[in-house]
Structure 1
Amino acid sequence: MSSNPYAQFSGVPMDQRDIDALLEGQGHGVVSLCRDGEPYSLPISFGYDGDAVYFGFLEDTPNPTKMEFIRDGATARLLVTDIRDRFEWQSVAVTGTVRALDRDGDEWDDFVATLDDNAWFMTAFEQSDAIDSLSGWKLQVEELRGIEQKEEAYE
């Protein structure tokens, strides 16, 4: 039991194994970007390989706002949650620098493989025409924080 009297409301720190399990298993979250002090958040599908988060943006969409906010070398934060009920949940925040991936570079294959492993991404998508408008991004983990609430811990 935690020494924090508010832990049943605010959660307790997660261990690295549980953080990795959530990031590898969830496959979707909300990424937050910022441009000139203006925040922008959007849901994404992502893959996690233990060191970095990979995600893609379709550039040819009716609402290209995300492409206006993301840039190589910018800081981003990904929030991933698994909420079962108000007393059983997990939340992980990944903060780091995003880098654009070169389609012809070595990391493009890692990007596709990681998305295929644990994102909401289908291998068939890579073979479709839509792949031509996909930009790949890598969020290098610089800060990783997880908190959780487990109902059985307070019974």
Structure 2
Amino acid sequence: MIDLTAIPVIAAEGTTTDLSDHAGKVLLIVNTASKCGFTPQYAGLEALHRRYADRGFAVLGFPCNQFGAQEPGDAAEIANFCSLTYDVTFPVFAKVDVNGDVAAPLFRHLKREAPGLLGSESIKWNFTKFLIDRDGKVVDRYAPTTKPEDIAKDIERLL
């Protein structure tokens, strides 16, 4: 089994890192965008992050510009938007591709472990969510239309 926390990711400031700081936590990993119809979900994601952080839970955001060019900004613009508009305190990483030949290794792993509808690995839109248990196992995949608050029971079951 692949250690999810050892998969390289790019931090917002552009440095290569991993998710080892989140080892042993329940995680909700989301591909996000600032100009998407689902962008207001940032508020719900932040509410989950704050509600469960002290119990070993974290939301991790990965901005993505692959769907309708809905994340055109650079890292500073994205961080500013998230902070000022939704008071986001959860980690937001560098912009990634989630599909295609240059998809981020983390998302290649998530899609393999939790395929979507009819076994499709492709992510269909921004705000697709992956729930990870404390052992780093991908437990579930949620469609962009799934509201963050609707995932709370699943999170509580893992905490």
Pairwise same-fold verdict (TM > 0.5): no
Q: Which is richer in strand? A: 1
Larger CA Rg, structure 1 vs 2: 1
TM-score (norm 2): 0.29
TM-score (norm 1): 0.29
Q: Which is richer in helix? A: 2
